[in-house]
Amino acid sequence: MEIEGKVAIVTGGGTGVGRATALDLASRGCSVVVNYSRSRDDAERTAAECAKKGVFALPFQADVADDAACRELVAVCASELGQLDILVQSAGTTVFVPHGDFDKLSNEDWHQIYQVNVVAPFQMVRAARGALEASGSGEVVMVSSVAGMVGTGSSIPYCASKAALNNLVITLARALAPKVRVNAVAPGAITGRWLKQGWGDSYDAIMKGVAQRVPLGRPSEPEDISAAILALIGGSDMVTGQVIVCDGVPIKAWTRGVPFEAAARTQLENVARLPFIHRWVAAMPDVHFGIGATVGSVIPTSGAIIPAAVGVDIGCGMLAVRTTLGGSDLPDHLRSVRSAIEAAVPHGLSRARGGRDKGSWGTPPADVDQAWRPLGARFERIAERHPKVRKANHRVHLGTLGTGNHFIEVCLDEGERVWVMLHSGSRGVGNAIGRHFIELAKRDMERHLATLPDRDLAYFEEGAEHFADYVEAVSWAQDFALANRELMMRHVLTALRKAPGLPPFEATEEAVNCHHNYVAREHHYGKGVFVTRKGAVRARAGELGIIPGSMGARSFLVRGKGNPESFESCSHGAGRAMSRAEAKRRFSLEDHAAATAGVECRKDADVIDETPGAYKPIDAVMAAQQDLVEVVHELRQVVCVKG
């Protein structure tokens, strides 16, 4: 959802998380009704600060435990502001009673806590339903607690009420879909006067213990939880019925100004909770939800590797070479250039039974066979121990492009010099190796899968039965991918030298060949670790990398700044803004043709899922990582070959 111009009700909006959320919404151009029950002065002060940000803000007293008051609150919002798009349910209550002291809890305690923490959120949603549905994209975010998941908190009734609220979120999400999304954040301990009053003299000692327990070394602040709430509101329309834990999970994200969908954040939080994570997990500005693990993530691990985090497109990466050609040397019509490339490099996929896959070699050329010989000897040793990978396409895929987001492009830089750039990985054999070891990790951890936050995060511990085999196989696949790109580049340059209309030229020494789906041994913060980059490029100080845009957008050759907090990494591209299925639903052939105007490329329905609009804006992605890389060359494509 675009937050600017929307209208929100924030219950419990005068203090704590409610206040922080009201202010953050106002900063994004959203008008706010600041609800309060008893904290009138705080609510009026919050509303005044919101109004200073240029939006309409109204403090309004209503006890949300009272159904009539909920309905009046929504009615006033509708009459004063004419709409309601967002409901943030931050009001809550508890008593502070040790869990073992049953006799200190009264029935009134149970009733009051359940009424405010469970019944009141339902009443508010019921009262607001019509207005939220009328908005066309209504959003509800509940403030829950990790107490509802782990059973520790201020009192037993509080833990039980938050567990019930988590279930209510899922139930309401199903009942209100697709017109209204319902999600929740579940914080741990939050600094502020509420806990100070409840814990009294024990507050500082308890908070010190919290800081020692959580990975980030500090408890949450209201502003941290507000940021998570706004991420849910402004995130993917596909996320509903989710409870996002906010409990000091160590994630550092370079996502200012670019979308960071809640589903991707949840994936990263699951990874960050694993016991062998070194320091934190880094999210690049192209971060998005991925199968198995988050694309655009950097995962440093000590003594373990997660095969699904590396993925199945092992060693996928980029290669770019500058030629001695200038833009004026290119023919007016570039179809012949595209055709020459398509004829030189097998690409795409055909599934005809009994026929050869058009994306593979029938008979590999001599240089492919020569490159395969040392790879083949190593592969045979792997296949002897893991025969399931033997039947995968390997030799016949060496020097071939593949499908999906893999491409070959002819580009012009800021000086109108011609570059050839391509994107591919370890093809069918890498896919087979990845899938085999992902399933092997799950099998090896079968007894422990229930304790993992996600089954796909099954891992091999160093010294375990299959750890060394996986390291050997993934290293081999990365070498295959590197050779694959080098062979394709050689064949493309040879084809272009024979293409009609092009003068003789040479490739210069200005070239970059880098992985962005891989794992490597590195040294960070005084320790040797495995760094898995899934959709991320290593960006050591002075190291060159490539960050491609989409089919109709610019690409960038960059120089790393060696930022230690990102584990010397940067993004691997623009990053998808939506799924392939959503892109096919949303964009037409006319949209695609307009977005790729001036680029000699496919304009048919089979590449709609790769249209530029399916990706994040590359300029925003680059702006978000200015402390990670500097731009060396800016490339705009004039020819694009897709599989």
**Which residues carry out catalysis?**
572
Beta carbons of 635 and 597 less than 8 angstroms apart: no
Nearest to 371 by CA among 478, 487, 472: 487
In degrees, rounded to 5, the angle at the alpha carbon of residue 358 between the alpha carbons of residues 511 and 477 is 50
67 Cβ contact partners less than 8 Å away, ≥ 6 residues apart = 123, 127
> What span, in angstroms and rounded, lies between the C-alpha atoms of 74 and 133?
13
487 Cβ contact partners less than 8 Å away, ≥ 6 residues apart = 367, 368, 371, 398, 399
> What span, in angstroms and rounded, lies between the C-alpha atoms of 271 and 282?
11
Which helix (H) or strand (E) segment holds residue 103: the answer is: none
Sign of the CA dihedral 327, 330, 334, 340? negative
Amino acid at 55: V
The helix/strand/coil state of 289 is coil
The helix/strand/coil state of 276 is coil
Kindly state the tokens that stand for 19. Answer: 């206040």
> What span, in angstroms and rounded, lies between the C-alpha atoms of 360 and 351?
12
Which helix (H) or strand (E) segment holds residue 486: the answer is: helix 467-498
Beta carbons of 348 and 406 less than 8 angstroms apart: no
Which runs of consecutive H residues, i.e. helices, occur in 245-334? Answer: 262-272, 307-310
Which runs of consecutive H residues, i.e. helices, occur in 82-202? Answer: 107-114, 120-135, 147-150, 156-176, 193-199
Q: What is the DSSP letter of 43?
A: H
The helix/strand/coil state of 352 is coil
The strands making up 86-89's β-sheet, listed across from edge to edge, are 57-61, 31-36, 7-11, 86-89, 138-143, 180-187, 243-246
Per the listing, tokens 């089919």 go with: 551
Nearest to 361 by CA among 484, 200, 275, 210: 484
Q: What Rg value do the Cα atoms of the chain yield, rounded?
A: 28
Helices vs strands, H then E, count in the chain: 19, 23
Bridge partners of residue 10, in order along the sequence: 34, 88
> What span, in angstroms and rounded, lies between the C-alpha atoms of 251 and 228?
12
State residue 377 phi and psi, 5-degree precision: -65, -40
Beta carbons of 17 and 222 less than 8 angstroms apart: yes
The helix/strand/coil state of 503 is coil
CA torsion angle for 460, 465, 466, 468 (degrees, to 10)? 90
Number of Cβ within a 10 Å radius of residue 68: 11
